[in-house]
Amino acid sequence: MREYPCPQCHKPIRWRSDNEFRPFCSVRCQQIDLGAWAAEAYAIAGDEHDNDVSTGVLDPSAED
């Protein structure tokens, strides 16, 4: 059976069709990855928001 590293912890795991956490080794790694993705998406959204504020204050009263 084919082995591959878990994308999250890099532990060698076997590809199983009944592994509901594919491509991760466990639900923990799956959730870590989803959490990292969400945090990254949130950070990007935050950067865009910061850029909007720094390039032109649209509504100064919102900060008060």
Per CB under 5 A, residues contacting Zn ion are: 6, 8-9, 25, 29
CB atoms within 10 A of CB 48: 10
Exposed / middle / buried, residue 42 (Cβ in 10 Å: 0-12, 13-18, 19+): exposed
3-state SS assignment for residue 33: helix
Least distance between Zn ion and beta carbon 7 (Å) = 8
Q: Which is nearer to Zn ion, 31 or 51 (CB)?
A: 31
- Shortest distance in whole angstroms from residue 15 CB to Zn ion: 13
- Comparison of 32 and 53: residue with beta carbon closer to Zn ion: 32
